[in-house]
């Protein structure tokens, strides 16, 4: 791996090589410590990064999957068109009046004259139009780059329209694309506003026995549907998913759950912390990617509630679901064991999907995040040491205090202590590094050039990333699986998802199509014809 790292950096100018070198790490087993990596820093200009922008993280990732909130983009139409149905977040919501706005693309369509004279009037008119057409419970406004540059006050416009309507919650996000170094800043901006404007606003009381929130699950390819199926079977009520298949009322009731379960730590750990501080809801890390991981997460939830009925029910569900999983693994193992994979996606999935590969006897030889922070690599214990740079200081941190009416401790201190003594971990996330084998290569903010170089040097059996990498990797003769959109597949979460994944990966890594990459005349030149001048 030392050699591979050197070769990846070889072509860079010295200054670039020095910077990139801190974001490329050869994993080594260290006693009681985890090696340090540089993350969440600016991409070096000129590099073709895999990253997206802050607006993508806010409008696309966090708010995109909600169904009955109108998402109105304030900006030139290109930003909207690019964000229109590009994420495979599914929704089953049909609404009282058939409202499900996911398939719409709503924009103020800013023109040159709006940039010069200001776009606030146009924004107010667009909010009015959305209200008149749909009468939604909420309208969310998103700023794209030019809005921040010209200084339109989207928050003032939203507030004015909210007061005018009286029965529609209007709120705005200053999520200009340039606001942060990646999508990650957009998650933070989105979460702050969801927490401020939506959570805790419901007056309907939830009386179910085992109530949780599922944080950081976006229902891509129907993952959330499969998780909900399993939870329901166990008798666990999912009050709110942030934000896969979510609705206005779910966000509004989230304060009533008794436990927050965090799937994607990167995008949402802020909300988990705020729910705990303001309402007294403890949080745990879960992972429903991988059959074993799913079983472990269910057991963890049951242990938290501590009720024998629930513990037994969860065991019964696992016992019922596992035989099909075991049969599927047994079938693929002879063909998948020993194969190698690389995973480079935005955040959590580069870690979570290693579970599924392990179950198939496959090794992840290299992985990394586009935009995760050091805690997602090294674990949450390093959070106090994180350096706050100018870019992160740019993103608002909201101060949260216990709610005078709604705060309620879910467990006594003695109960929490007893759980912890028995090995139960709250707020635990150890990151990707300790989970990866020695001598694997971990790369932050991988770019187009390095991706091709890595493939050339390490020759994996499978490369997992996004649409921008799809075809360049396939052209190198390596099967490529999109782990953002799942190509057109999924779900891959839960038990049914694991089976889908085993079969899909088996098909990909054992396909013979890659041996036909060379045209017949490239392999046998005698087949090629020569043009003869007559």
Binding footprint of ligand CFM on the chain (CB under 6 A): 57, 61, 87, 183, 216, 218, 220, 264, 266-267, 345-349, 484
* Known catalytic residue at 87: yes
190 binds, among ligand HCA, ligand CFM, none (CB under 5 to 8 A by kind): none
The span from the CA of 465 to the CA of 232, in Å, is 32
The span from the CA of 148 to the CA of 177, in Å, is 9
- Residue of 34, 174, 183, 392 interacting with ligand HCA (CB under 6 A): 183
Question: Least distance in Å: CB of 391 to ligand CFM?
Answer: 17
Question: Least distance in Å: CB of 496 to ligand HCA?
Answer: 21
The span from the CA of 43 to the CA of 183, in Å, is 12
Question: Least distance in Å: CB of 466 to ligand HCA?
Answer: 3
Give the three-state DSSP class for 142.
Answer: strand
The smaller minimum CB distance to ligand CFM, of residues 126 and 215, is found at: 215
The span from the CA of 202 to the CA of 323, in Å, is 41
Residue nearest to ligand CFM (CB): 346
303 binds, among ligand HCA, ligand CFM, none (CB under 5 to 8 A by kind): none
The smaller minimum CB distance to ligand HCA, of residues 235 and 466, is found at: 466
The smaller minimum CB distance to ligand CFM, of residues 313 and 484, is found at: 484
The span from the CA of 41 to the CA of 20, in Å, is 11
**Which H, E and C letters describe 192-215, residue by residue?**
HHHHHHCCCCCCCCCCCCCEEEEE
DSSP annotation of 114 reads H
Q: To the nearest 10°, report the CA torsion of 359, 365, 371, 377.
A: 80
Give the three-state DSSP class for 260.
Answer: strand
DSSP annotation of 387 reads -
Which two tokens mark 317? 């569900």
The DSSP secondary structure of 156-200, one letter per residue, reads HHHHHHHHHHSSSEEEEE---GGGSSSHHHHHHHHHHHHHHHTTT
The smaller minimum CB distance to ligand HCA, of residues 122 and 481, is found at: 481
Question: Least distance in Å: CB of 171 to ligand HCA?
Answer: 22
The span from the CA of 208 to the CA of 236, in Å, is 8
Instruction: Kindly report the length of the chain.
Output: 534
Total of chain residues touching ligand HCA, rule CB under 6 A: 13
DSSP annotation of 391 reads H
The smaller minimum CB distance to ligand CFM, of residues 57 and 146, is found at: 57
468 binds, among ligand HCA, ligand CFM, none (CB under 5 to 8 A by kind): ligand HCA
* Known catalytic residue at 187: yes
Sheet of 283-285, strand order: 237-243, 211-217, 259-262, 283-285
The smaller minimum CB distance to ligand CFM, of residues 161 and 443, is found at: 443
Evaluate whether 448 touches 472 at the Cβ level (below 8 Å). Answer: yes
**Options 74, 87, 197, 351, the catalytic residue:** 87
The span from the CA of 365 to the CA of 362, in Å, is 9
Question: Least distance in Å: CB of 156 to ligand HCA?
Answer: 28
Question: Least distance in Å: CB of 371 to ligand CFM?
Answer: 7
Pick the piece of the chain touching ligand HCA (CB under 6 A) from 52-60, 133-141, 226-234, 240-248.
52-60
**Options 20, 39, 53, 140, the catalytic residue:** 53
Give residue 309's region: left, alpha or beta (phi > 0; psi -120 to 50): alpha
Residues 446-485 as x/- pattern, contact with ligand HCA by CB under 6 A: --------------------xxx-------------x-xx
Contact flag: residue 49 with ligand HCA (CB under 6 A): no
* Known catalytic residue at 53: yes
Where would I find the beta strands (DSSP E) of 354-436? 363-369
**Options 74, 187, 373, 374, the catalytic residue:** 187
Give the residue from 86, 66, 55, 60 showing the smallest Cα distance to 186: 55
The DSSP secondary structure of 47-97, one letter per residue, reads --BS---HHIIIIIIIITTBSSEEEEEES-HHHHHHHTT-S-B------TT
467 binds, among ligand CFM, ligand HCA, none (CB under 5 to 8 A by kind): ligand HCA
**Options 20, 51, 56, 328, the catalytic residue:** 56
The smaller minimum CB distance to ligand HCA, of residues 254 and 483, is found at: 483
347 binds, among ligand HCA, ligand CFM, none (CB under 5 to 8 A by kind): ligand CFM
The span from the CA of 501 to the CA of 61, in Å, is 23
298 binds, among ligand HCA, ligand CFM, none (CB under 5 to 8 A by kind): none
- Residue of 1, 60, 136, 290 interacting with ligand HCA (CB under 6 A): 60
Q: What angle do CA 515, 520, 525 make, to 5 degrees?
A: 130
Which two tokens mark 228? 């909900």
264 binds, among ligand CFM, ligand HCA, none (CB under 5 to 8 A by kind): ligand CFM
The smaller minimum CB distance to ligand HCA, of residues 230 and 455, is found at: 455
The span from the CA of 161 to the CA of 415, in Å, is 47
266 binds, among ligand HCA, ligand CFM, none (CB under 5 to 8 A by kind): ligand CFM
The smaller minimum CB distance to ligand HCA, of residues 448 and 485, is found at: 485
218 binds, among ligand HCA, ligand CFM, none (CB under 5 to 8 A by kind): ligand CFM
The smaller minimum CB distance to ligand HCA, of residues 87 and 197, is found at: 87
Question: Least distance in Å: CB of 294 to ligand HCA?
Answer: 21
Contact flag: residue 56 with ligand HCA (CB under 6 A): yes
The span from the CA of 393 to the CA of 386, in Å, is 12
Q: Which chain residues interact with ligand HCA by CB under 6 A?
A: 52, 56, 60, 86-87, 183, 346, 466-468, 482, 484-485
What positions carry a catalytic annotation?
A: 53, 56, 87, 187
């Amino acid at each position: 791996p030392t050699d591979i790292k050197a070769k990846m950096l070889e072509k860079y100018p010295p200054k670039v090589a020095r910077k990139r070198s801190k974001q490329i790490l050869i994993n080594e087993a260290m006693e009681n410590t985890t090696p340090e990596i540089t993350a969440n820093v600016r991409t070096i200009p000129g590099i073709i990064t895999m990253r997206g922008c802050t607006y993508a993280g806010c409008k696309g990732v966090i708010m995109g999957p909600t169904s009955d909130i109108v998402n109105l983009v304030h900006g030139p139409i290109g930003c909207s068109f690019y964000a229109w149905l590009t994420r495979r977040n599914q929704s089953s919501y049909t609404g009282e009046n058939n409202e499900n706005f996911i398939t719409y693309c709503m924009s103020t369509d800013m023109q040159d004259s709006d940039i010069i004279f200001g776009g606030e009037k146009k924004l107010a008119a667009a909010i009015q139009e959305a209200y008149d057409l749909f009468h939604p419970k909420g309208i969310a406004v998103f700023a794209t780059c030019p809005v921040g540059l010209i200084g339109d006050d989207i928050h003032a416009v939203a507030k004015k329209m909210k007061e005018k309507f009286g029965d529609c919650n209007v709120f705005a996000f200053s999520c200009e694309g340039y606001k942060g170094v990646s999508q990650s800043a957009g998650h933070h901006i989105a979460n702050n506003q969801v927490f401020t404007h939506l959570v805790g606003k419901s007056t309907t009381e939830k009386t179910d026995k085992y109530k949780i929130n599922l944080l950081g699950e976006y229902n891509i390819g129907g993952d959330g549907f499969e998780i909900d199926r399993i939870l329901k079977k166990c008798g666990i009520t999912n009050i709110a998913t942030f934000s896969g298949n979510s609705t206005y009322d779910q966000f509004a009731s989230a304060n009533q759950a008794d436990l927050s379960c965090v799937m994607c730590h990167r995008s949402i750990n802020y909300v988990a912390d705020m729910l705990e501080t303001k309402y007294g809801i403890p949080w745990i890390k879960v992972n429903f990617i991988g059959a074993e991981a799913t079983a472990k997460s269910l057991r963890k939830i049951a242990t938290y509630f501590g009720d024998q009925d629930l513990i037994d029910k969860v065991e019964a569900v696992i016992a019922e679901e596992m035989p099909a999983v075991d049969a599927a693994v047994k079938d693929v193992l002879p063909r998948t064991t020993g194969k190698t994979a690389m995973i480079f996606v935005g955040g959590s999935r580069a870690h979570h999907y290693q579970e599924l590969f392990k179950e198939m006897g496959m090794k992840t030889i290299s992985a990394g995040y586009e935009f995760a922070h050091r805690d997602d690599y090294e674990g949450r214990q390093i959070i106090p040491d994180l350096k706050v740079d100018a870019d992160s200081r740019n993103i608002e941190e909201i101060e949260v205090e216990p709610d005078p009416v709604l705060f309620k401790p879910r467990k006594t201190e003695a109960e929490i202590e007893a759980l912890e003594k028995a090995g139960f971990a709250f707020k635990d996330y150890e990151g990707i590094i300790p989970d990866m084998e020695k001598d694997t290569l971990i790369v932050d903010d991988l770019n187009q050039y390095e991706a091709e170089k890595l493939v050339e040097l390490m020759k994996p059996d499978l490369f997992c990333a996004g649409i921008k990498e799809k075809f360049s990797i396939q052209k190198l003769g390596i099967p490529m699986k999109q782990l953002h959109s799942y190509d057109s597949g999924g779900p891959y979460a839960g038990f049914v998802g694991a089976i889908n994944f085993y079969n899909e990966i088996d098909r990909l890594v054992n396909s013979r199509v890659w041996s036909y990459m060379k045209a017949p005349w490239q392999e046998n030149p005698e087949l090629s014809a020569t043009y003869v001048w007559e």
